[in-house]
A and B are shown apart, each in its own frame.
Chain A
Amino acid sequence: MEFRTVIGLEVHTQVLTETKMFCGCSAAASDVPNTHVCAVCLGMPGVLPTVNRAAVEKTVMTGLALDCTIPRFNRFDRKNYMYPDQMKGYQISQYELPMAVSGFLDVEVEGETTRVGITRVHLEEDTARLVHRSGPDGDYSLVDVNRSGVPLMEIVSDPDITSPQQARLYLVALRRILRYIGASSGNMEEGALRCDANISQRSEDGLIVGPKVEIKNMNSFRSVERALDYEIERQRAALRNGETLVQETRGWVETQGITVSQRTKEFADDYRYLPEPDLPPVEFDEAWIGMISTSMAELPVARRDRFVADFGLSFHDADVLTDDVIVADYYEQAIASSGGHYREVATWVSGELFALARNRGGFEYVTVTPEHLSEIVTMVASGEINALTGKSVLLDTAESGTAPRQIVMDQGLTQVSDASIVDDVVREIVAANPKAVEDYRSGKQAVVGFLIGQAMKQMRGRGNPDVVRQALLRTLDNT
């Protein structure tokens, strides 16, 4: 029997705001536990929540970026469950009337565009963080309330995803959008973005043949893909062997590469949702939604297409440059003063700057300003310096912050294209390397590169490579 896999993803992401969802405490992470807390996010008796406007705006913006409908009315609800990470015994969330519904996200899988439906986007509050410890008197848990009340957005996909690879690419595309519009840092390792997956098997003709299994504890996009790969095989093997699969929650164990059962859903959770009486229903007017829509940053796909159309970049280059909003912004700032050298700047960004970023641990740590990069690219393009010099100037600028032109002037790095100077150098090199000249004459073209290198070395790298090559060939052929 052949199977089809059905996957739906639930993404929780902390919304990037200054303050918490329902109080004025800082929403920033802190290494010192229980410092970003107040009576409200501690759930003390008598406190009341007030809604963070910025969180609402960013959630609506996310909905718009995912082509969702923004219903006119939405409402907060109480999701009741008692646990020590829950300060009030309930979480303020959205159940019946979320902020955004019925959208989609186009995901490119091996060159093909696939569309994944977005069921809903809603806003809620994060829980406190529990730290489990063992001591001489037994196990215990510590509660860090800093995270309690941080705005949390839940993005639920339709069960449209058919492969683990598509699931990963969906997450990549989603995170890219969230980062573009400034809704989320998208940082999965720090827990700012979390993903649960629902996965089940159907027969070829679409009949459900296996129950829905929820997978948790996946800490990277790669582990989402691996966990789903594993789970597909586990489910299919069970079905082929005639075993009964149960509806359950399973946890991904990264170190072993397996999922293990956490709890079965014999008893459905009953969260006893009720409309949050402390917060009146929210009503959006069209004009406000229009304002959010207008203020939204250009989305990745649109930006990539524009880079191709306006700057003559290849699809691949444009894709690479628009993957991260910081890079795309950097690129656009750099080309502004580059005198139209769009493709050259693209090559420098994706080559030299990415290398620099890798060394420094991230693009945000690259200290070369877009204007300085543009200066280097312009000098190289005009022949003022050669590419090799450009690269060393870039590193110098990255270290010292000195303007590239200043470095070139101070160190006399201007490219030497004057044929008479080059000819003198070449003659010296030829004279000093009779063996190489002999090899060349006997047909070994490879020695040309060696001789060019010697000449360039003599000229401290400043020689114009074309002029040097021509002078060398001329000298060799005429000697």
Chain B
Amino acid sequence: MIKVLTALGLVDARRLLDNREISAAELTDAHLNWIDEIDEQVKAFITPMHEQARGMAADADRAIAAGEASPMTGIPVALKDIFCTVDAPTSAASEILKGYRSPMDATVVERLRAARAVFVGKTNTDEFAMGSSTENSAFFTTHNPWDLERVPGGSSGGSSAAVAANEAMVSLGSDTGGSIRQPAGFCGVVGMKPTYGRVSRFGLIAFASSLDQIGPFSRCVEDSAMTLQAIAGHDRRDATSAPVEVPDYLEELRAGVKGLRVGIAEEFSSVEGMEPGVKEACEAAYAMFSELGAELVPVQLPNAKYALPTYYITAPAEASANLARFDGVKYGLNIESDTLLDTYLRTRGEGFGPEVKRRIMLGTYALASGYYDAYYVKAQKVRTLIKRDFDRAFEGVDVILAPTSPTVAFKIGARVDDPLQMYLSDIFTIPANMAGLPGISIPCGFSEGLPVSLQIMGPAFGESVIFRAAHAYEQATTWHKERPALLRERADTTV
């Protein structure tokens, strides 16, 4: 079989690397060269890491030669530019952190580094992960590889576009309200948000600490499982990371869905603004599960409709505190003025973009004396109810299906003036964040030539059953094999 190096998946790449048919250096160079060629159009990367990547590839080759390869050794990985790295700047796509050098690696970075993965670059995101399109990046907007006039989704749009455009084999993103699943959906790749607490958040620049969770992008479910395997597990530096053992995600990957109880929630069947093409593709996907032997079970999630407003109280409230440290005194942008207050005001005024400011204001308001009970406290109560809905539903089903987003990727600029419309693109992904549950987005069709994606949610620490369901569906369909036209004319090294 002839394969382009940049099109390889983890399983094939692993075999070729371990058999010394290719080297990590070759694999890395193929990706770096392709980044040089294509990223002018896609603009997935804020900071490519050519030099670092070549060094890491050499290390990986030595490890392979010494028989010390782990599953991720020599694998080209892209990192959302919100994970701290010691060997490349970490900006969170914000002017306030432009050029910032972290003194530490995030735990996920540390784990991948220890596994001798190769970091090809830091990817674009909405500023501080606040957004659904990467249009809130302080630097530039990433383009959807399927249609360069469209957004890749967000906030982890750089990481999803990089994988969709073969610029990285896998990548990491973070998901606070859908920031992995929604861009994965828009770019037709696999995006997994694990259970809250499954992956350490240490070194992830916080947006909303009680919701943020790190997860992988990949071009197939098995790669997603392998990548999560490498980053999951308790970390004593993150008190919210769960001391729960990590199962072997590949163990039941191929167990199929026969007899699996699959929940379909009416609350996810239609919302205002949902595109018919998305609805059709998702309903066809539900039917496919039935065909594959799963039992479709209706479930009720009556409070799910409150997830979006609840989220827009909770996340900005936490963000307003999390972003207070950026004051121009210690690191990052500093616009020194005559008084301390002016230094604060000007640094933050010029350092933060409009969406970040909007959320700081929303959150500050929600926490203010006299409003706290009516907004923040009430939102937490609703959050508990949403969680209870899911707990009850998962007593009767193994997974719950839903669309990832109500629309396909929209045109760049189409929603920038309408924040509420922008917020709605996360309406199906936010409930899992509010409940702390895992969810995956996998391709399930096309509408108007753009990918449509299916979301599979599971119970807490139920990543295995999600992977199993996703893999069964993937193997029965060919959607994940479709590649953007952008990639068709290319010819890098083949094996």
Contacts and interface: CB of A to CB of B under 8 A. Distances in A.
Interface residues of B, number: 44
Contacts of B239: 48-51, 278-280
A80 interface: yes
A268 interface: yes
Contacts of B331: 44-45
A90 B340 CA distance: 17
A268 B370 CA distance: 12
Contact of B206 (A46, A270, A272, A273): A46
A51 B240 CA distance: 11
B240 A280 contact: yes
Interface in B91-134: 92, 97, 100, 102-104, 106
Contacts of B97: 45
A46 to B, nearest CB: 4
Interface stretch (A81-89, A215-223, A398-406): A81-89
Where chain B touches its partner, the secondary structure class is: loop
Contacts of B340: 84
Interface string A202-244: 0000000000000000000000000000000000000000000
Interface in A39-54: 39, 42-51
A46 B237 contact: no
B330 A43 contact: yes
Contact of B201 (A44, A48, A143): A48
A82 B368 contact: no
A74 to B, nearest CB: 14
Given A39-B102, A46-B206, A272-B320, 8 more contacts: A44-B102, A44-B330, A82-B327, A84-B329, A89-B327, A270-B369, A272-B321, A273-B372
Contacts of A277: 208-210, 240, 318
Nearest to B201: A48
Given A51-B239, A84-B329, A274-B318, A45 B84 contact: yes
B348 to A, nearest CB: 9
7 contacts: A44-B104, A45-B205, A82-B327, A82-B344, A87-B325, A87-B330, A274-B321
A78 interface: yes
A278 B369 contact: no
A137 to B, nearest CB: 12
B299 interface: no
A44 B330 CA distance: 9
B321 A46 contact: no
B210 A46 contact: no
Contacts of B367: 80, 272-274
B317 A274 contact: yes
A296 B331 CA distance: 44
Nearest to B209: A277
B5 interface: no
B205 A46 contact: yes
Interface string A335-378: 00000000000000000000000000000000000000000000
Contacts of A45: 84, 90, 92, 97, 100, 102, 205, 325-326, 331
B321 A47 contact: no
Contact of A88 (B202, B236, B325): B325
Contact of B324 (A42, A44, A51, A88): A88
Interface string B23-51: 00000000000000000000000000000
A274 B209 contact: no
Given A42-B330, A270-B369, A89 B325 contact: yes
A48 B325 contact: no
- Most A-side CB within 10 Å, residue of B92, B238, B324, B331: B324
B13 interface: no
B209 A278 contact: yes
Contacts of A48: 201-202, 237-240
B424 interface: no
A80 B327 CA distance: 13
Contacts of B202: 46-48
Given A50-B239, A280-B240, A80 B369 contact: no
B236 to A, nearest CB: 7
Nearest to B344: A82
Nearest to B82: A46
A88 B202 CA distance: 15
A123 to B, nearest CB: 15
B203 interface: yes
B294 interface: no
B116 to A, nearest CB: 23
Contacts of A90: 321, 324
Given A89-B321, A89-B327, A272-B364, A278 B240 contact: yes
Nearest to A79: B321
A428 to B, nearest CB: 82
Nearest to B235: A48
B102 A272 contact: no
Given A45-B325, A46-B205, A80-B367, A272 B372 contact: yes
A82 to B, nearest CB: 6
A453 to B, nearest CB: 72
A288 to B, nearest CB: 18
Nearest to A40: B237
A51 B369 CA distance: 28
Contacts of A47: 104, 202-203
A268 B369 CA distance: 9
A71 to B, nearest CB: 19
Contacts of B77: none
Interface in A47-97: 47-51, 78, 80, 82, 84, 87-90
A222 B288 CA distance: 81
B161 interface: no
B410 interface: no
Nearest to A279: B239
A49 to B, nearest CB: 7
A92 to B, nearest CB: 10
- Most B-side CB within 10 Å, residue of A47, A88, A90: A47
Contacts of A268: 369
B320 to A, nearest CB: 8
A125 B208 CA distance: 22
Contacts of B240: 48, 277-280
A272 B321 CA distance: 9
Given A51-B239, A270-B369, A46 B324 contact: no
B369 A82 contact: no
A80 to B, nearest CB: 6
Given A89-B325, A272-B367, A272-B369, A46 B204 contact: yes
